[in-house]
Structures are given as structure tokens and as C-alpha cells.
Structure 1
Amino acid sequence: MQHMNKGILIIGHGSRALEAQQTFESIIDKLKAKGYQNIEGAHMELAKPNIREAVEKLDKQKVDMIVVVPLFIYSGIHIKEDIPQILEEIGRDYPHITIKMGSALGDDDLLVSLLEKRVKEMIT
């Protein structure tokens, strides 16, 4: 079996607010600093790069698979319908790339720990 060159696409909702865009970019940069290669961040709407632009960047990095991780807490309509539809449309233009979408963050214990950290910041 041929070795797959995998890319990672982190998708956030997107915001016009500069602070939100900078926070998202910082998260992507921290993942890159952990040694992940072929990783791009994209916004579903309201900010650049959009999903198609990020897939174009990954295609230039010669990936043949993209794993999509949504930076969303729960699986609302964006996760169930909007993003899969966008990825399906883009996938038709990149038939040589397999695109797999993962789950929303959900009620993971790590998210609970982060909330607990924020609570403790406020009450200590």
C-alpha cells in the first residue's frame, strides 16, 4: 500500500472580529509547534481563509488525504449539514484527495477541565 501524505484541516466558525481570528490562528500555530505538518486552519464563514482556500494550500503540499477536525463544541447544523456540503463540493474539484471529517469537540473531559480552570480563575 502506498504511503498516504496526510493533511490536517481545522475548521472554525469564523468571525469578523480580529481578536477571534487571532485566537484561531494562535491555536493553529500551537498545533504546528507540536510538530504537525501539512496543517491549515479555515473559517466556515466571515473570515479568510475559507475552506476552499485551505484545501488549495493543502493540495499544493501534495496531500492525498485531508482529515478535517471541526473546532466546534457540539454537532449543530454547521457540523451535520453545512460543512459536509462544502467539503463535498470541494471534493469534486479534488478527486485525488480523500477528505474525512471528524467529530465536534463534544463533552470531552478536557473541555470540562478547561471550564473548571476558568471557574477557578474567577473564584480564587
Structure 2
Amino acid sequence: MEGSETVGSSVNADEFVAMFRYKTGFQIVEPAHMELAEPSITDAFGSCVQQGANGVIVSAFFLFPGRHWHQDIPSLTANAAKEYPGRSYIITAPLGLHKLLVDIPSLTANAAKEYLGVPYIITAQAPCDKEEQVSERDPQDDCE
């Protein structure tokens, strides 16, 4: 998770981890931040190992690959792993264009649309069978 200097971001990260642990059944799940907040990737890696993890899955909570995913997270994770020889790790791909990822912004956009009382939203549409385009009509119509 990207760090933030605001206190609420760490609380939100802890809440997300609790929800993730509950929903997935993973017993050992720790939040980590690259820089601006604690715990660091090194601290989280160590916490996982202390709880009995033989390996660590680092879930890069980014939409698309960039410098953090290509360079920063691998470097920070490799440094953390040096303290625990024999422990493996893997860094997951960014969230990317997974079809389920469209559901969350769709929910928030629809809630805003209802609040404002407007019938349509302007949005960059998620890829579907039709060519991606910007539309002033309901994006669900283009994927049916």
C-alpha cells in the first residue's frame, strides 16, 4: 500500500487487511507501505516470518505497473528478504484491467449519479467486446 502522512490512511490500511483476511481466509496478512507510513515492507515481511510464514506474497496494490512496481517494491522486498535466508517471496502483478475492477468505480459513480439526480455519466469505459470509447450514455449499454 502506498504510504501517506495522514493518520487515517494507516487506519484504512488496517481495516482493509482485516477485511482481506476475513474474506480470503489467509491467516497471516500484514499491511506495508513503501515510504511515508509504517509499517515498512521490511517490518511487515519480518512480522509475517515471525508468525510462521515460510514465504511471503507481496500484493502490489497498484492499478498498473510503474516505477514502484518495477523497481521500488522489488528492491525493498529483496532487502527485507535478506534478513530471512531461506524464505521465498513473490510480488503479485498490479490489479490491472481485471473485469471485476470495474465494479467498484461503477458503484461509486452510480451512487453519485443517483445523488445528483442525473440520468447519465461521462466515463472512460472499461474494455468489453466493443471498442473502448468515451460516452455520455450509460456505459453498461455498451457491454450488453
C-alpha distance in structure 1 between counterparts of 2:64 and 2:37, whole Å? 21
What does 1:1-124 correspond to in 2, within 5 Å? 12-34=1-23, 35-124=25-114
Which has a greater percent of strand? 1
Q: For residue 64 of structure 2, give the secondary structure of its aligned residue in structure 1.
A: coil
SS state at 2:12 partner: helix
Mean Cα displacement is larger for which, 113-122 or 34-43? Answer: 34-43
How much is the aligned-residue C-alpha RMSD, in angstroms?
A: 1.1
Query: After TM superposition, where is structure 1 displaced by more than 6 Å over at least 4 residues in a row?
Result: none
Q: Which has the higher contact order (CA 8 A, sep 6+)?
A: 1
TM-score, normalized by length of structure 1? 0.85
Quick check: which has more Rg, 1 or 2?
A: 2
Gapped regions of structure 1 (runs ≥ 5): 1-11
Distance 1:46 1:20 in 2: 10
Q: Note the C-alpha offset of 1:55.
A: 1.0
Q: Could you tell me how far apart the structure 2 residues matched to 1:69 and 1:111 are?
A: 15
Distance in 2, matches of 1:121 and 1:20, equals 23
Which amino acid in 1 is paired with 2:75? Answer: Q
